[in-house]
Amino acid sequence: MAKVLIPIGDGTEVLDTLYPIFRLPEDGFEAVVCGPKARMYHGVLHEIPPEPTIAWDITRESPAYHIKATHAFADIRPEEYAGLFLSGGRAPEYLRYDQNLLRLTQHFFETGKPVAMVCHGVEIAAAAGCLQGRKATTVAKCRLDITAFGGIYLDQACVLDGNLVSARTWHDNTILLKEFVKMLLEDQKTRA
């Protein structure tokens, strides 16, 4: 079973992260969750509350499910993985400084293996220097992470650009995973 790497940390958005964890095995891919260390991480839920009498200018964060990373970034051999899924939440804000994760991320872009990113996951790809000349989308408040690193921001539910597929938020998970799985299956045939 081909493996897909899913990096997480404390503050990972649970809908961004759990959806691919459960979705990828449906098409024969093992979802491997990794973090700075192999341990349990605190997930969060981000939403703009639907209560119209209490306005929020940005998403509210609430505690959510915990997610276990079975591997540490430093122990991952990226050549053993078919793809990379960069989920959002607050975790990418500090994970983007982890040199092991940046090395892993660069491997997937340099080798042309499928990469999916949603929401704040763009911060990891940007910090790894992988967005120069690339078209991508993200949550609107993170578009600077694309344009400041030489990429082209498109406000669309899902954007395909070579081996990269991106989505704005967990609301776009269905189309994101549909395209990512298609890319993974095609890439597996090509590399066989």
Catalytic positions are 120
Task: Measure the CA–CA gap between 64 and 17, rounded to whole angstroms.
Answer: 12
| CA–CA gap between residue 4 and residue 133 (Å, rounded) | 25
What is the distance of C-alpha 23 from the center of its chain? 14
Is-contact 59 47, C-beta < 8 A?
A: yes
Cα distance between residue 69 and residue 27, in whole Å: 21
Match 């940046």 to its residue by tokens.
Answer: 102
DSSP class of 37: S
Residue 148 CA: distances (Å) to CA of 82, 95, 143: 28, 19, 8
Q: Please state, as a whole number, how many other Cβ atoms lie within 10 Å of the Cβ of residue 50.
A: 6
**Residue 140: CB partners within 8 Å, gap ≥ 6?**
155, 168
CB atoms within 10 A of CB 63: 10
